[in-house]
């Protein structure tokens, strides 16, 4: 990769063209500003353009392209392999573009790409609305949306991209376009799952839904019941009403409040649930969880505002932890797969390391596989195995654990993984994820970014 160090006059001109700030390596704030969510990734860009409007973004794209700089686009900076930044290149940073506009009449939300999940939930909750997206409030909505976006509302209302109505995009040649169901339809198709490959998105318009108070929270069982709970869960959840989303976890109880001290450090299996609707209905639908399974070790299930559920895990997952994660799409959970899960989860090297199975069914299945770039709609779950620890000295250990665990489970999966749960794993994995949509994505890439200017991502190469 060729990186040309711009001369100071070029940089000065670029700086003067921006309303936002340009952070260079000598800036005392450089190290703080370049930090990514994953503490395992340490990238040192040449320049960070903290854009405040579309004009800044256009200027940054022109500058980066003309200077032959590697360009990274940073939304929330939460990406596992740190694809929101790059070494020695230009970062187009959206951390100052956090505007959210909610229109309660049309039930739509327009959000800028620096917004976190929490920013969007906060703004829409005031109107009794929510946009289907992720489950942790600090995650950036830009990368999450462009990769697909699944969470508590997906079973009822679909993926985040199924609720995306329009995007504004700055293309590789600096043009500004609108992509929606009638303008630049090919681009709009590709942006819904194809990641940051096609241009710099400067705003997203979403359909929002009436979600305000929800009933839910975590329930833990001792790991000795995990086999039974998993077998039960694989039958129960797919036939449960779509108002209920329960994701499954193999975890360790963190040694911290609010968990009772007597269960700190205990290996557990968990169901973390969200029911969209009144408590009385939730109690009926969730009754089998309490009636058919052993008594839980811990439960915190109640009525709460949706943003409260969305930020339940924030304190456990601050910025800067070491993360190594691997994903896969899962259609079925045979007993052999459950055994492999239990064997490897038992060896988790830290309290925060986890496995989650997120439901991908109901409304997600109602959209056809070639309707958006997101191909794996025949899956039942999106799985993530994440080695997580605050201590950088444990980076190797958590990585080894996640890789070995994944090797054991991969034969039971349908190939391909949610792009937002992948490290940098090569073209084969990307092609497996997009399946029959990959060729079409390459053609759209060729049309909108023929020189692969935007390649700091799960890269789709332009068609030859």
Ligand X SMILES: Cc1cc2nc3c(=O)[nH]c(=O)nc-3n(C[C@H](O)[C@H](O)[C@H](O)COP(=O)(O)OP(=O)(O)OC[C@H]3O[C@@H](n4cnc5c(N)ncnc54)[C@H](O)[C@@H]3O)c2cc1C
Task: Tell me the closest approach of the beta carbon of residue 54 to ligand X, in angstroms.
Answer: 11
Hey, which residues does 72 pair with through a beta bridge? 91
**Phi and psi at residue 147, to the nearest 5°:** -85, -15
User: Interface with ligand X includes 135 (CB under 6 A)?
Assistant: yes
How many beta carbons lie within 10 A of that of residue 4, not counting itself?
11
Ranges within 384-423 binding ligand X (CB under 6 A): 420
* Eight-state DSSP code of residue 220: E
Mark the segment that binds ligand X (CB under 6 A) among 10-18, 133-141, 216-224, 443-451. Answer: 133-141
Task: Tell me the closest approach of the beta carbon of residue 305 to ligand X, in angstroms.
Answer: 18
Q: E strand or H helix at 125, and its extent? A: helix 117-125
Nearer residue to ligand X within complex by CB, 138 or 413? 138
Q: Tell me: cis bond preceding 440? Omega within 30 of 0 counts.
A: no
Mark the segment that binds ligand X (CB under 6 A) among 69-77, 287-295, 299-307, 342-350. Answer: 69-77
User: Interface with ligand X includes 134 (CB under 6 A)?
Assistant: yes
Q: How many residues bind ligand X (CB under 6 A)?
A: 34
Task: Tell me the closest approach of the beta carbon of residue 336 to ligand X, in angstroms.
Answer: 28
User: Interface with ligand X includes 50 (CB under 6 A)?
Assistant: no
Q: Which two tokens stand for residue 174?
A: 């600096």
Task: Tell me the closest approach of the beta carbon of residue 76 to ligand X, in angstroms.
Answer: 3
Q: Which two tokens stand for residue 358?
A: 């997120």
What is the per-residue binding string for ligand X in 87-116, x denoting contact by CB under 6 A? Answer: -------x------------------x---
Instruction: Map tokens 């190290």 to a residue.
Output: 31
Q: E strand or H helix at 407, and its extent? A: helix 395-409
User: Interface with ligand X includes 338 (CB under 6 A)?
Assistant: no
Cβ neighbours of residue 198 closer than 8 Å, sequence gap 6 or more: 169, 171, 187, 190, 191, 444, 445, 448, 449, 454
Mark the segment that binds ligand X (CB under 6 A) among 145-153, 174-182, 330-338, 365-373. Answer: 145-153
Task: Tell me the closest approach of the beta carbon of residue 331 to ligand X, in angstroms.
Answer: 19
Cβ–Cβ under 8 Å, residues 243 and 277: yes
Cβ–Cβ under 8 Å, residues 354 and 325: no
User: Interface with ligand X includes 70 (CB under 6 A)?
Assistant: no
User: Interface with ligand X includes 307 (CB under 6 A)?
Assistant: no
Task: Tell me the closest approach of the beta carbon of residue 7 to ligand X, in angstroms.
Answer: 27
Distance of CA 309 to the CA centre of its chain: 17
Q: Which two tokens stand for residue 255?
A: 């040694």
Residues that bind ligand X (CB under 6 A): 37, 73-80, 83-84, 94, 113, 134-136, 139-140, 142-144, 146-147, 149-151, 195-196, 200-201, 317, 420, 456-457
């Amino acid at each position: 990769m060729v990186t040309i160090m711009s001369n100071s006059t070029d940089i000065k001109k670029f700086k003067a063209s921006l309303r936002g700030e340009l952070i260079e390596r000598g800036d005392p704030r450089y190290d703080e500003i370049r930090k990514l969510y994953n503490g395992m990734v340490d990238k040192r860009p040449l320049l960070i353009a903290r854009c405040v409007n579309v004009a800044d973004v256009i200027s940054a794209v022109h500058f980066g392209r003309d200077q032959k700089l590697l360009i990274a686009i940073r939304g929330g900076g939460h990406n596992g392999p740190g694809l929101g930044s790059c070494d020695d290149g230009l970062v187009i940073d959206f951390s100052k573009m956090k505007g959210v506009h909610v229109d309660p009449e049309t039930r739509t939300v327009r959000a800028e790409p620096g917004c976190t999940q929490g920013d969007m939930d906060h703004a829409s909750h005031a109107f009794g609305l929510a946009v289907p997206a992720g489950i942790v409030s600090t995650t950036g909505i830009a990368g999450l949306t462009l990769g697909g976006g699944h969470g508590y509302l997906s079973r009822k209302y679909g993926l985040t991209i199924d609720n995306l109505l329009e995007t504004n995009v700055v293309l590789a040649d600096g043009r500004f376009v609108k992509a929606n169901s009638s303008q630049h339809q090919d681009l709009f198709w590709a942006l819904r799952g194809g990641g940051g490959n096609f241009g710099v998105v400067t705003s997203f318009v979403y359909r929002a839904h009436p979600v305000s108070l929800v009933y839910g929270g975590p329930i833990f069982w001792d790991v000795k019941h995990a086999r039974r709970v998993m077998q039960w869960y694989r039958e129960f959840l797919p036939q449960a009403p779509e108002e209920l989303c329960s994701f499954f976890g193999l975890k360790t109880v963190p040694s911290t409040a609010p968990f009772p001290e007597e269960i700190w450090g205990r290996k557990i299996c968990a169901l973390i649930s969200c029911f969209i609707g009144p408590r009385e209905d939730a109690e009926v639908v969730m009754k089998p969880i309490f009636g058919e399974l052993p008594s839980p070790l811990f439960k915190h299930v109640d009525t709460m505002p949706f943003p409260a559920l969305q930020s339940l895990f924030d304190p456990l997952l601050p910025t800067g932890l070491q993360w190594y994660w691997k994903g896969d799409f899962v259609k079925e959970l045979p007993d052999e797969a459950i055994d492999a899960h239990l064997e490897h989860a038992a060896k988790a090297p830290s309290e925060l390391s986890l496995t989650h199975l997120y439901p991908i069914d109901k409304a997600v299945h109602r959209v056809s596989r070639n309707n958006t770039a997101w191909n794996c709609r025949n899956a039942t779950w999106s799985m993530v195995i994440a080695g997580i620890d605050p201590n950088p000295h444990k980076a190797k250990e958590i990585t080894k654990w996640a890789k070995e665990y994944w090797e054991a489970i991969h034969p039971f999966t349908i190939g391909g993984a949610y792009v937002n749960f992948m490290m940098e794993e090569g073209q084969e994995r990307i092609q497996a994820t997009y399946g029959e949509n990959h060729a079409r994505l390459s053609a759209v890439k060729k049309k909108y970014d023929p020189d692969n200017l935007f390649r700091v991502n799960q890269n789709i190469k332009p068609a030859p």
